[in-house]
């Protein structure tokens, strides 16, 4: 067994040797540009890309014509959400998503909200100021409204109904187990809703959403459904037809492929249209221009094929390892909580809070194991995880969480080592924790007046 042990497979996965083998020729002699239609180098590259396209499509039950290669899932999320909002702006501008989505979705939504607000402010100012001959500052608005005998709120409301290129966004809460409530989702849908963006499996807690039911709700109402499927694809069966998914983001490096390549699935029947984010030579049916990253795309294809072949067996193996890890820890330590549904969860995923132990301190003491802290303590913000907070996890518990991500190359021996290490270090840190001592003495920590800082 080699140290350190890698158990952060949500963040990224190592390249599978079979994937590397498939890629090598395209980094050496077969270097052609897949868009070169007039010679053998180009043809070979194109054929390799088309094979990979089929392999990726096969993994998610799509047709190869529905796969658009991108630089990764962040780009896919951006392209799907911005592309739909731009293309369907005359139909509506409302998006529904979850508070627990990946930042690639949340920050894209936030930008669209900002765009809309800026346009509205601009329109309002122009209207109130009788167009642009004069500079209008926000402070002048009430004065101008009075001067032109306009009701500022009413004007604003009228403009608010017009397409702006931005979007209105509903960020739905999730239930305590991390899953969306279908009733709440249905209730949030309006005639102006054009897109629902909900992930397949959560990167932080591993919880799998009821994607097929979400797809059904959207289809019934003619709303497009985008699914950030990055974490779950290749680990849990995912089928765009069975699940009524219209757009899906996937990434190679989360399934033992190379970094820097991903795909967006864009449905053809019924046809989904998106405005491109990148202008250029019209590659990828005009949806994503740019010379294709042939070697990486080949690797992505190989990774998808391996994932599809291995899925049933590998999924069962990861489940056994995960349960061994979970029960091994929980049998020996008290006051340990699993965050998110245990039932609806990716097989290799475990997010747990160790009460009265701070997550980063624990990570530091188990430095022979690469995991990540549920709390974003290592980032500049020091804020506990927004995902755990959205589940209703108390702040102190959110600071005490660790994410274990088991993958294809983890072994039983490694899991047993990690159990011993974690149990030992949690005990040591609890011996050092004033909170654990107080809790053991029966002091209610909530009754104490803490010094906020």
Which sequence positions are flagged as catalytic? 377
Phi, psi of 53 (to 5 degrees): -60, -40
Q: Which is nearer to another protein, 316 or 364 (CB)?
A: 364
Q: What angle do CA 352, 353, 359 make, to 5 degrees?
A: 105
Smallest gap from residue 159 Cβ to another protein (A): 41
Q: Does 78 interact with another protein (rule: CB under 8 A)?
A: no
Say how many residues touch another protein, by CB under 8 A.
30
Smallest gap from residue 437 Cβ to another protein (A): 6
Smallest gap from residue 396 Cβ to another protein (A): 4
CB contact set of 225 (below 8 Å; sequence gap of 6+): 195, 196, 197, 198, 214, 215, 218, 219, 244, 245, 246, 247
Q: Does 452 interact with another protein (rule: CB under 8 A)?
A: yes
- Region of 129-137, 243-251, 282-290, 431-439 interacting with another protein (CB under 8 A): 431-439
Q: Which is nearer to another protein, 44 or 399 (CB)?
A: 399
- Long-range contacts of 236-239, Cβ-Cβ distance < 8 Å, separation of 24 or more: 236/200, 236/201, 236/208, 236/315, 236/346, 236/347, 237/311, 238/59, 238/60, 238/61, 238/200, 238/211, 239/60, 239/61
Longest dimension (CA), the chain: 79
User: Which residues in 99-115 are b (16+ Cβ under 10 Å) and which e?
Assistant: ebbbebbbebbeebeeb
**302 to 341: interface string for another protein, x by CB under 8 A:** ----------------------------------------
Of 186, 166, 184, the C-alpha closest to 175 is: 184
Count CB neighbours of 431 within 10 A: 9
The only residue of 190, 291, 378, 411 in contact with another protein, by rule CB under 8 A: 378
**257 to 296: interface string for another protein, x by CB under 8 A:** ----------------------------------------
Q: Which is nearer to another protein, 38 or 451 (CB)?
A: 451
CB contact set of 437 (below 8 Å; sequence gap of 6+): none
Which residues sit opposite 94 in a β-bridge?
168, 193
CB contact set of 438 (below 8 Å; sequence gap of 6+): 445, 448
d(CA 66, CA 59) in angstroms, rounded, equals 13
The only residue of 8, 213, 360, 416 in contact with another protein, by rule CB under 8 A: 360
Q: Does 226 interact with another protein (rule: CB under 8 A)?
A: no
- Region of 74-82, 118-126, 152-160, 356-364 interacting with another protein (CB under 8 A): 356-364
Smallest gap from residue 433 Cβ to another protein (A): 4
Tokens of 195: 């897109």
**195 to 224: interface string for another protein, x by CB under 8 A:** ------------------------------
Q: Does 372 interact with another protein (rule: CB under 8 A)?
A: no
Q: Does 444 interact with another protein (rule: CB under 8 A)?
A: no
Q: Radius of gyration (Cα) for the chain, nearest Å? A: 25
Which residues sit opposite 68 in a β-bridge?
264
Phi, psi of 225 (to 5 degrees): -120, 115
The only residue of 167, 358, 402, 410 in contact with another protein, by rule CB under 8 A: 358
**392 to 411: interface string for another protein, x by CB under 8 A:** --xxx--x------------
Q: Does 421 interact with another protein (rule: CB under 8 A)?
A: no
The only residue of 146, 316, 382, 443 in contact with another protein, by rule CB under 8 A: 382
The only residue of 15, 188, 338, 435 in contact with another protein, by rule CB under 8 A: 435
Tokens of 312: 């049933």
Q: Does 431 interact with another protein (rule: CB under 8 A)?
A: yes
- Region of 4-12, 198-206, 389-397, 404-412 interacting with another protein (CB under 8 A): 389-397
Sheet holding 372-373, edge to edge: 336-338, 349-354, 401-405, 372-373
Tokens of 78: 């951006």
Q: Which is nearer to another protein, 271 or 453 (CB)?
A: 453
Kindly list the residues in this chain that would bind another protein in the complex (CB under 8 A).
Answer: 356-358, 360-361, 364-365, 375, 377-378, 380, 382, 384, 394-396, 399, 431-437, 445, 448, 450-453
């Amino acid at each position: 067994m080699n140290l350190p042990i890698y158990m952060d497979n949500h963040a990224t996965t190592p390249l599978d040797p079979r994937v590397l083998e498939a890629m090598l020729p395209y980094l050496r002699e077969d270097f052609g540009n897949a868009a070169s239609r007039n010679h053998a180098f180009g043809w070979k590259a194109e054929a390799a890309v088309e094979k990979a396209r089929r392999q990726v499509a096969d993994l998610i039950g799509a047709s190869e014509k529905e796969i658009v290669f991108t630089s990764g899932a962040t780009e896919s999320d951006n392209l799907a959400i911005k592309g739909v909002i731009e293309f369907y702006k005359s139909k509506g501008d409302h998006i529904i998503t979850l508070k627990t989505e990946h930042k690639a979705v949340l920050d894209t939504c936030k930008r669209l909200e900002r765009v809309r607000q800026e346009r509205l402010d601009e329109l309002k100012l122009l209207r109130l100021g009788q167009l642009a001959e004069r500079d209008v500052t926000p402070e002048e608005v009430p004065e101008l409204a009075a001067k032109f005998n306009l009701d500022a709120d009413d004007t604003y409301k009228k403009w608010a109904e017009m397409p702006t290129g931005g979007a209105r966004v509903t960020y739905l809460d999730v239930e305590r187990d991390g899953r969306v409530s279908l009733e709440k989702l249905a209730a949030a849908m309006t005639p102006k809703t054009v897109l629902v963006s909900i992930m397949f499996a959560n990167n932080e807690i591993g919880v799998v959403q009821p994607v097929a039911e979400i797809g059904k709700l959207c289809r019934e109402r003619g709303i497009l459904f985008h699914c950030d499927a990055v974490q779950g694809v290749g680990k849990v069966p995912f089928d765009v037809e069975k699940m009524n998914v219209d757009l899906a983001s996937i990434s190679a490096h989360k399934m033992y492929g190379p970094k820097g390549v991903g795909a967006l699935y864009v449905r053809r029947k019924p046809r989904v249209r998106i405005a491109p984010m990148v202008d250029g030579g019209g590659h990828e049916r005009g949806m994503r221009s740019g010379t294709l990253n042939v070697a990486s795309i080949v690797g992505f294809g190989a990774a998808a094929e391996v994932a599809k072949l291995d899925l049933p067996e590998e999924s069962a193996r990861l489940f056994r390892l995960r349960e061994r890890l979970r029960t091994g820890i929980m049998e020996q330590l008290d006051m340990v909580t699993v965050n998110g549904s245990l039932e609806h969860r990716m097989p290799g995923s475990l997010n747990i809070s160790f009460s009265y132990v701070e997550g980063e301190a624990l990570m530091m003491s188990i430095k022979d194991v690469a995991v990540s802290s549920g709390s974003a303590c290592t980032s500049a913000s020091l804020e506990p995880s927004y995902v755990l907070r959205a589940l209703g996890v108390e702040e102190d518990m959110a600071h005490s969480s660790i994410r274990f991500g088991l993958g294809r190359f983890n072994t039983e021996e490694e899991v047993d080592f990690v159990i011993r290490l974690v149990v030992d270090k949690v005990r040591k840190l609890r011996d050092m924790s004033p909170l654990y001592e107080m809790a053991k003495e029966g002091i209610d920590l909530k009754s104490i007046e803490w010094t906020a800082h």
